[in-house]
Amino acid sequence: MVYKRNVKGRTFARRKICRFCADSTIKIDYKDHQTLRLFISERGKIIPRRISGNCARHQRKVTRAIKRARNIALLPFTTTTTR
Ligand SMILES: [Zn+2]
């Protein structure tokens, strides 16, 4: 179970489900940046496993795919946000 604090200060539980294990039709591909984008924050950082809920095996695959996608400029290393 993942406990996340929302704006009002209440904690709510979300069950950890690895979406790649749950749906075997989803493939982790470095060319598929739309899927990979689900696992990076808006600042371009990779979302950690405890938040994304992926299992270790798939999180590793996602991480490698993201790093590969960054190298060929499909995903940003960091996104500059205007303040
Ligand atoms: Zn998995």
* d(CA 44, ligand 1 centre) in Å: 22
* d(CA 53, ligand 1 centre) in Å: 9
Please state, as a whole number, how many other Cβ atoms lie within 10 Å of the Cβ of residue 20.
19
| pLDDT bracket for residue 79 (50, 70, 90) | confident
Better-scored residue on pLDDT, 81 or 19: 19
pTM for this predicted structure:
0.74
* d(CA 56, ligand 1 centre) in Å: 7
Domains of the chain: residue spans and CATH: 19-83 (4.10.640.10)
Return mean pLDDT, the chain. 85
| Ion ligand 1 residues within 5 Å by Cβ | 18, 20-21, 55, 58
pLDDT tens-digit map of 2-36 = 566 666 665 555 667 899 999 989 899 999 999 99
Residue 54 CB-density burial (10 A; 0-12 exposed, 13-18 middle, 19+ buried): buried
